[in-house]
Structure 1
């Protein structure tokens, strides 16, 4: 009886230990921000609690504009991305357009936010591709005097975020669709006379949204506190709040750390307001859906709407693809005057100089990414397997993480990075730790693990438990069943989750900047640092290098299962 109890208590302990371990840095980071925000940081002379940091913060010129810009970015980016996904699925689910989008948009997971932002900047800038194409029809001989990049309303920044987040949410929705039973529900709605789009939005979309709600909230939190995209595309006078916080945190005047901590709490409040307003919006949309359903209108004539519904996704995906292509053109271009559409001369001189200087950042990026993704994968597999063993062997797809467990794991995606990474930096300095590859990988792990869990959970639990039951009947123990049955059958999902974790680490800017303290430059920090310069050739090369590493990881995740499981086609399908 004692052995049976211990056998049951160990999985329970593990299922809570791993989420708590991943959420602990968030708590430590918030504590490291809250105390200085109220004037207490003995290392900098703050011996007593005070509200002076908040008074100093409120006296900063343009603070309200920065805060409103962050609030609008979180809400508008999420709303446009989510509505675009809903409309596309309603119009094209189950069609050739659906299948085409699945194939074309999947590679976009490998594109970091900064690279996508640079690509969009090269397209929409006054001397970018769009205005070069319009130059001859409109008689332009020089770039128009328009403030597009860095516009005061942050529209270019929001467009860059939408271009990256809409394909991401669409791919997440594709994975969630089967659980919403779209075929049966759509047929039922059609039998009642509803048009294709109305039937989907009224009967299928609510179930899909429930499945992707957490990623949607993560997008809202990220967009409200984004730094790298804001530095590339956002305004500077005033800048979004998160960008100003980074400047204060890195200022040589250490007394600004107190005001920066107060600002980090303000950023946390802004993100909380974004999430609260979004939840209120969910309720309002739910009421509207019920009123539309009760009105009896079938909205059967939706042919024009179905064509228009594909435009947002096409624009988002096209912006990233064409942006990357234009980055490459710039990276090999010689002298290139406006309004020539293509450069008159090309060469590899830029790449030669870039590869000479990018070796160190590339090595750091790779080491940190492989370490953080590898450790995240091990922790997530331990968590998922421990949780599965809390259920009967035949539970299969019925196994799920509890809301509390999921909340702890995904907490770093909901809490804005700027609100707790600075606190982590304070804690690291207080412990006397110096920037190192293992330390940076440990901090990246906090952000990598949630995405690995999100990618692996459903495929892990979808493996048919009867295979392991057969193995158990042949005398194989739990570890043997894990390593010789479940892991081989989930090879494709495991490698894909690893690639997603790797790509997530490569794209981390703020944690690398603050924890690395400038001593551990990665390809991402170097690329974003170039945003303030005007050398588009170097920017194009660095942005493409930043994309190359995740692309190679996803390529390996797609090809390795075929090599490792050659001759075992059934396992590849599993």
Structure 2
């Protein structure tokens, strides 16, 4: 295949299977929001669905909760990551490998574990009971509190590791050491040094991941169902209930709400852009004034806060495992009185389906990412506008286009099957695989392929014999992230599978509202174990494959 041909083929495939379905889903939702849904006999253009949406009880509160939880969690996570990196500017604040379990844990599993931890009968209350002498759980409203504090905490715990890893990656791509030396030589304090010299350099590199976090925080359903307020819920949960309502007339106002959700996220992006521009303008004025800022360090608060969040995350995952093995666990005991494996004696169908979906979508996404990057190499140029299309599914709220896409799939006749779910999940797995693989692929030393070409290797042999072996660790890491993203998918599986495809995530979210914590813990533990296993393989397999390629030279390893 000639160089431009491969690139055009991959671009066409991404547009056909990725961008066009999203646009088609948005178009279907937009039509239904104005009364056009022929399947229900609605063929007259009308603003009535918007009127019905505005008359829904608690809509104003749902909008307020969506904004406060989404914007609040994103702001807290971003400020904490920047403060932590600034406070520990000379070294990595957290070893990247330590973040792997938190990145691997699906959102729903983390939310269920956190609910077990902070509930009135959870581990924290049990620990306090030992000191305060409680014999019954306190009358606290911690999970599903009306202000969304539990949801904000859960989002911050889940997104801080992701933003921290992205920031560490960005710092490795700028002359950080030179910037720190220059700033300190000029007398800048730690905070001013980061705000004036470092943050402006990494902002273009972390802006897109921050937008992804913001879009998810504003439109997530699984974590909001488990931790968020119930009556009224956040907007995304309210819309999910409307779409699932037996009364099909609710589909029209639900579609109007889906468009409203998309507009809300778009407005938040605009606010982020405006804030960045305003901050840049103010920063230039501050820079010209020459003020150095305080000379003292930022103190231990950022590190202590990050440590506390990671500890809460680790305890949340541990709570899942303990509850899955508990048989009798009365309050206020810290540990179960008796143990049992009975909760694990459940159907393996969700596990099999989850594993099949994860392997299939990850394989498809990895092959597509390799084809995209190889086509880019052969064409010897990048197309930023085309690359931006890859990340469209991460920036558009799922609830705003998935139901419209499901209507399209119903017309085609593929809705409710594995093929539709694989297609829908790949929409979200592929961008994360590309996001992970693109930087190490482009950083590969071009002299390797030039040497192979000089020895007579063609483009395909260069790819198979040189590039892929050299990039084995990044490839497996990207695949592990793909598995984690696939396992975590809730709405795509629920909508595109028409409720007939049961995975560990759909089962865990459903069980979270029940009363049997043991079965819920077992399902969520299994859900978290699959991505963690993928990460362990990604770390162990390259070391095993390259075990004979390590050569000690002056006490240092020749292979990274």
Q: TM-score range by the shorter chain?
A: over 0.9
Q: 2: distance between equivalents of 1:292 and 1:126?
A: 48
Aligned mate of 2:11, from 16, 19, 43: 16
- Alpha-carbon distance in 1 for matches of 2:221, 2:518: 23
For 1:19 and 1:433, locate their aligned partners in 2 and report how far apart those are by CA, in whole Å.
19
Which residue number corresponds to residue 314 of structure 2? 321
Task: Write out aligned runs for 1:382-393 (5 A).
Answer: 382-391=371-380
Q: Using the TM superposition, give the Cα deviation of residue 428 of structure 1 relative to its aligned residue in structure 2, in angstroms.
A: 1.0
How far is 1:402 from its partner?
A: 3.4
Task: Please say if residues 492 and 557 of structure 1, whose CA atoms lie closer than 8 Å, have aligned partners that are also in contact.
Answer: yes
- 1:179 aligned counterpart, secondary structure: coil
Distance 1:139 1:301 in 2: 46
* Conserved 8 A contact 2:4-2:375: no
Q: Are 2:422 and 1:413 equivalent residues in the alignment?
A: no
Q: Aligned residue for 2:418?
A: 437
What is the CA-CA distance between 1:293 and the residue it aligns to? 3.4
The answer to whether the aligner puts 1:103 opposite 2:97 as a matched pair is yes
Q: CA deviation at 1:161?
A: 0.7
Q: Mind listing any 5+ residue stretches in structure 1 that lack a counterpart?
A: 1-5, 392-398
Q: Which residue of structure 1 lines up, in the alignment, with residue 336 of structure 2?
A: 343
What is residue 453 of structure 1 aligned with on the other side?
A: 434
Match of 1:307 in 2: 300
**How far 1:11 sits from its partner (Å)?**
4.7
> Matched residues in 2 for 1:203 and 1:171: separation?
20
Task: Please state how far the C-alpha of 1:139 moved relative to its aligned partner.
Answer: 3.2
- Runs of 4+ residues deviating >6 angstroms: none
Decide which of 443, 449, 453 is 1:462's aligned counterpart.
443
Pairwise CA distance, 1:202: 1.9
Q: 1:8 to 1:49 in 2, by over 3 A?
A: same
Distance 2:174 2:28 in 1: 42
Give yes or no for the alignment of 1:289 onto 2:283. yes
Picking from 500, 506, 515, the partner of 1:534 is 515
Offset, 1:107: 2.2
Query: Residues of 2 paired with 1:434 and 1:61: CA distance?
Result: 32
> Residue 35 of structure 2 aligns with which residue?
39
Note if contact 1:90-1:198 (Cα within 8 Å) is conserved in structure 2: no
- Contact 1:157–1:233 under 8 Å retained in 2: yes
Deviation track 1:204-226 (CA, whole Å, cap 9, x = no partner) reads: 12212221110100000011000
Q: 1:296 to 1:135 in 2, by over 3 A?
A: farther
Cα root mean square deviation, aligned: 1.9
How far 1:270 moved relative to its partner?
A: 1.1
CA contact (8 A) 2:409 2:420 kept: no
Distance in 2 of aligned mates of 1:28 and 1:288: 41
- Sort the Cα spacing of 1:291 and 1:317 in 2 relative to 1 into closer, same or farther, 3 A: farther
Q: Deviations over 1:308-346 (max 9, x none)?
A: 121332222111111111221222122222222222222
For residues 256-295 of structure 1, the C-alpha deviation after alignment (integer angstroms, 9 at most, x for no partner) is: 1111111101111111122122222222333443344344
Q: CA separation of 1:285/1:534 partners in 2, compared to 1, >3 Å: closer, same or farther?
A: farther
Q: Deviations for 1:78-110, whole angstroms, at most 9, x for unmatched residues?
A: 111111110010011333xx3644232222111
Name the counterpart of 2:554: none
2:528 to 547, 551, 559: 547
Q: Which moved more, 1:124-133 or 1:517-526?
A: 124-133
Q: In the superposition, relative to structure 1, how do residues 572 and 430 fare at CA in structure 2: closer, same or farther (>3 Å)? A: farther
Change (3 A) 1:312 1:290: farther
- The unaligned stretches of length 5 or more in structure 2 are 552-556
- Kept in 1: contact 2:4–2:378 (CA 8 A): no
Q: Is the 8 A contact 2:3 2:375 kept in 1?
A: no
Pairing 1:254–2:248 present: yes
Q: Distance in 2 between matches of 1:469 and 1:403?
A: 25
Cα distance change, pair 206–573 in 1 and its aligned pair in 2 (3 A): farther
Tell me whether 1:380 sits opposite 2:372 in the alignment: no
Residue in structure 2 matched with residue 3 of structure 1 by the alignment: none
Partner of 1:164: 158
Distance in 2 separating the partners of 1:181 and 1:201: 15
Change (3 A) 1:373 1:203: same
1:300 shift after superposition: 4.0
Give, in whole Å, the separation in 1 of the partners of 2:326 and 2:547: 43
Q: Give how far 1:306 is off.
A: 2.6
